[in-house]
Amino acid sequence: MMIKEWLQELNQFKLGINPYKRPTDEVIKLTQEDISIYQEKNMLATYTAGYPLEDFKEEYINFVNSLLPVWHSNSGYLQMVWALSIGLLLEIDEEIFNQLVDLVKKDDPEDYLIDYLIQSRHPDWKIHINYNFPRPYGFTRKIIEEENAEQALKLLKEYIIKKWYPGHRDTGWYDLHKRNIDNYYGYWSFESGALCKLKGLDYRELEGVQYFLYDLVAEGAEV
């Protein structure tokens, strides 16, 4: 309900109706940021709750749309990694995927993982060697550059089990399930699913591994 109310407010702002003391442009920006935060939670909760893939896809598209007016690499790195990874897993159409690419072009975070994900659809895309957040994402380079599939799978499993969750200790959602169960919406390593798919690794070996989107990867592999 909150998102619908905020969207209604945005329409009012565009009509020149601003009941707040702050400037309209500032209120619009804050409202758009709130919408994006809640849309991210809706998307994650939809997947965690096991809703049909079409429902998750709908919430994903809403999430991408919410990023378009507010995304910046300095505060939205994780959101971009998720958005690109999910787009690849869902085999989202080029129009939606390229909206994300345009955001990256504009803000230019120069990040190895983001570049790799984009290059999977844009072969001419330049890959930078640095990472915005080496912990835990720097480890993904080992997975990406490992040519032996069996070894790459072992590295991916190590990343998911030992690196991914501890590497997010400084995020607001770390250990949220211990602090506020009502606001817990799930922990998922979307980039791990995307890497598994892009490198053609045997996802069946990752069934039951915590944080891995087994059913999402499996469904895409069976299409």
Note the pLDDT tens digit of each residue in 83-109: 999 999 999 999 999 999 999 999 989
Pair 145, 212 in one domain: yes
Pair 191, 103 in one domain: yes
Pair 47, 83 in one domain: no
Q: List all residues 6 or more positions away from 63 whose beta carbon is below 8 Å from its beta carbon.
A: 36, 39, 40, 42, 43, 83
Pair 99, 10 in one domain: no
pLDDT at 172 over 90: no
Contact by Cβ (8 Å): 140, 159: yes
- The residue length of the chain stands at 223
Pair 47, 80 in one domain: no
Q: How far is CA 91 from CA 60, 86, 176, in A?
A: 12, 8, 30
In the chain, % of residues over pLDDT 70: 85
> Do the domain assignments include residue 93?
yes
Residue 172 or residue 93, greater confidence: 93
> Do the domain assignments include residue 65?
no
Pair 159, 127 in one domain: yes
Pair 116, 186 in one domain: yes
Q: What is the pLDDT of residue 1?
A: 45
Contact by Cβ (8 Å): 120, 198: yes
Residue 138 or residue 22, greater confidence: 138
Structural domain including 44 reads 1-52
Pair 205, 128 in one domain: yes
214: tokens are: 């087994």
Q: In 3-state terms, what secondary structure has residue 167? A: helix
- Report the domain count for the chain: 2
Pair 76, 157 in one domain: yes
pLDDT digit string, tens, across residues 112-157: 999 999 999 999 999 999 999 999 999 999 999 999 999 999 999 9
- For the chain, the farthest-separated pair of C-alpha atoms sits apart, in whole angstroms, at 61
Pair 78, 116 in one domain: yes
**Distance between CA 157 and CA 189 in Å, rounded?**
11
Pair 116, 213 in one domain: yes
> Do the domain assignments include residue 63?
no
Contact by Cβ (8 Å): 88, 94: no
> Do the domain assignments include residue 57?
no
**Distance between CA 175 and CA 189 in Å, rounded?**
15
